[in-house]
Amino acid sequence: MRSKKNTQCRVKANVPPGIPRSRGVQKRRVKAVAPRRQRGSPLYWLVTASAVATSFWVGLNLPLGDRNQAPAIMRGSLPPATSVVGGINGLSRAASARLAAEIAAAAAREQQARFTVPPHFQGKTITHVDLAGDRKVIALTFDDGPWPESTNAILYILRKHDVRATFFLLGRNIRNFPERARQVAEHGHAIANHSWSHPYHQQTPASAAGQIDNTDIWIEQATGVRSQLFRPPGGYLHNGMAAYAAGKGQVVVMWSGDSKDYYASSAKIASNVINTARPGGIVLLHDGGGDRDRTINALPQIITTLRQQGYEFVTVPELLELHHQQMQATKG
């Protein structure tokens, strides 16, 4: 007989010696519930077979704190989007909605993989992006991750509210928590570079290259994404790192609205973001670097209030692409 030892799928990360491994994202099988039919009828077996097949690729791929929430797709083939519109046989409406969200996330990942910085943004520093028309779009950004618990909680809130954001990651945190970095990308968020160790002091050309290039390597290894955006730690533009990133053609991304979540209360964080919101704006928040409970508590109010004011949430790459499309339309 075959041993029933450990059949759990484990994600192995390439972590250097001496660095503790973080817990991999555990994937659990979710039972798909088929409608009640008379056992033995052809329709019963048809629906049951569909449910079993569906449950094969449906698993819990939510953050670690969400294991009892609605299911999401494990890695593997996705069904066509048209099959989600009327619900999928054997899945509840909530599960079908979650499946649609996963398909959207997959599309966002594919879009990010194809993204290239528009020529007029290459090597430039931006705080916001001016867009023509009345469309109100805004980009939420999170610095200093990935962080085990707070990044997890923020990913859950963003998924619950169907928001895509941009995460500026530290190289050393990616090395320590590669599974969490991979999870950020798998949820369809944009991935960007925030240096290796968050230094403020002046960098030599060699140290600036090490801070940025090593982080780019770890980002690609953990997530498959080639970062084309850089945010200087603390917003310091003149210590050598921003100049090095710009020299590589990357966009140096600052912000138009500072949440001040590194010291403010949850209520003040929310008001800081809401009061400084503007079309084409870029909002500074944090998911790592310390206790982010106040940010986590403020985030749902930020999202809900801005949506009520007519804002759409986009990633920074999407913001750049919208501007590029408008320029191309003007030329045409």
Among residues 128, 194, 198, 286, the one annotated as catalytic is 286
Please state at what angle helix 93-114 crosses helix 178-186, rounded to 10 degrees. Answer: 100
Among residues 143, 144, 216, 261, the one annotated as catalytic is 143
Known catalytic membership, residue 134 = no
Known catalytic membership, residue 287 = no
User: For 219, what's the count of Cα atoms within 13 Å in the CB-facing half-sphere?
Assistant: 28
User: In whole angstroms, what is the distance from residue 129 CA to residue 43 CA?
Assistant: 55
**What does the longest C-alpha to C-alpha distance in the chain come to?**
74
Report the b/e string of 204-231 with b at 16+ CB within 10 A: eeebbbbbbbbbbebbeebbebebbbbb
User: In whole angstroms, what is the distance from residue 60 CA to residue 71 CA?
Assistant: 5
- Mapping DSSP onto H, E and C, the string for the chain reads CCCCCCCCCCCCCCCCCCCCCCCCCCCCECCCCCCCCCCCCHHHHHHHHHHHHHHHHEECCCCHHHCCCCCEECCCCCCCCHHHHCCCCCCCHHHHHHHHHHHHHHHHHHHHHHCCCCHHHCCCEECECCCCCCCCEEEEEEEEECCHHHHHHHHHHHHHCCCCCEEEECHHHHHHCHHHHHHHHHCCCEEEECCCCCCCCCCCHHHHHHHHHHHHHHHHHHHCCCCCEECCHHHCCCCCHHHHHHHCCCEEECCCEECCCCCCCHHHHHHHHHHHCCCCEEEEEECCCCCCHHHHHHHHHHHHHHHHCCCEECCHHHHHHHHHHHHHHHHC
As annotated, the active-site residues are 143, 286
